[in-house]
Amino acid sequence: MRRELFGPDHEALRETARTFVEREVVPHQDAWLEKGLVDRSAWLAAGAQGLLGIAAPAEYGGAGERDYRYRLVLIEELARVGAASFNAGTSVQDDLVVPYLRDLGTPEQQAAWLPRLCAGEAIGALAMTEPGAGSDLQGIRTSAVRDGDGWRLSGSKTFITNGILADVVIVFARTDPAAGSRGYSLFLVDSTAAGFRHGRKLEKLGLRGNDTAELFFDDITLPAAALLGTEGRGLAHLMERLPLERLSIAATSYAFARAAYDWTVEYCFGRRAFGQPIGDFQNTRFTLAELATELDVAQAYHDRAVLALGDGSLTAVDAAKAKWWLTDLQNRVVDRCVQLYGGYGFMWEYPITRAYADARIQPIFGGTNEIMKEIIGRDIARRTTTDTQR
C-alpha cells in the first residue's frame, strides 16, 4: 500500500542517514557484537551528521524538530541493515534522555549536557529498572535522601541500556517513603561522580552489540542542581513521557519487522529448491502474502500514532496498543521468516537469525505487553463505568 507518511524533507534526511549507516555502521557491526558495545566513533559520526538530538533546541546543537518522522528515518535505516544494537542505544538517547532534559532540565543542566549529547560526545542512559522492580516502578529501593543542600543517592539498577558507555544517567529514586506515588524524583548523575560504579556488562540473548549493564550508586553526594524536574514528581514525569517511549519501541518493532520481511522476500526468490525459486511454492507465497498484509494493516495504525504524537493527541492507551501489537507482530513476522530460510535461518551469519534474537526483548521492556493490556483494559472498564453512570 502506498505510504504517505514522509515528505521531501524527511526523505532528504534519509539520504544522509543511509550514507551514514553504510559507511559507519555496516562495516563495524560484527566487531560491535563481539565487543558487546558500539564504538564511540559511531556516536561521534552520527552527531556530526545531525542524526542525534533532532528534538533538542537549536541553541544546544539540536535541530529543534519535534516531528517524530525525522527520528523514524534513522530507525528505519538502521533496521534496513539489521543494526538493532545501535538503534537501541540511539533510541534511549534521543527518545528518552534528550526529551527529559529538554522538557525538565534547567538552563544550566541543558547547557551542560544537551550539546554533548547532540554531538555524540556524551552518551546518556535512563536508570529505572532494579533487580526487584521492573514494570512495578513503585517497588524500587534506590533512594535519595537530603544531605545538607544536596542529596545522597544509594542503590542499584539493572538492565540499563548504554550502561557501560553512559556519561550521564537519569536515575529514578525514592525520595519520600511516606508520600506514596509522590515520593519519587529524578536525578542527573555524572558517571565520573565518586561512588558511581559500573557493574557487569550483561550477556543477553539479543541486542548483543549494545552495552546493557548493572549500575551501582554507593552513597553518591549530589548537589541540589542534580534534581531533574520537580521533587516528588518523578513518577509523574515518567508517566507523562511513556507515550513517546512506547511509540519508540513500537516504531522499532515495525521497522525491523518490515526489514525482516524484505530480506526474506529477496531470499525466497533467490534460493532454489526442486528446480525453482522457493518463492514459487504455494506455501511460501501464502506465507509472504499473509505477512505483507499484516504489515500493511499494522503500518496504518503505526503511522497514525506517529502523527498523533506530533499533534499532541497520542494518549498513553493509544501508545500501549501500538507497543503490544507491533512488538508481538515483529516476533510473529521474524519467526515465520526464519522458517522460510530453513536451516540457514538458524545460522548466526544471516541477519534474520540475529533479528530473531533481537526481537524477543521488544514485548518485555518499556513495560511488558501484559502491562500494556492491563492499561488498555482499565481504560475500557473506566469508559464503560462512566457510560453506565450517565
Q: List active site positions.
A: 245
- Cα-trace Rg, the chain: 21
Packed helices 242-268 and 316-341: angle between N→C axes, nearest 10 degrees: 20
- Give me 331's grid cell: 516476533
CA atoms within a 13 Å half-sphere pointing along the CA-CB vector of 131: 7
Other CB atoms within 10 Å distance of the CB of residue 325: 18
Q: CB–CB of 243/315 below 8 Å? A: yes
Other CB atoms within 10 Å distance of the CB of residue 390: 4
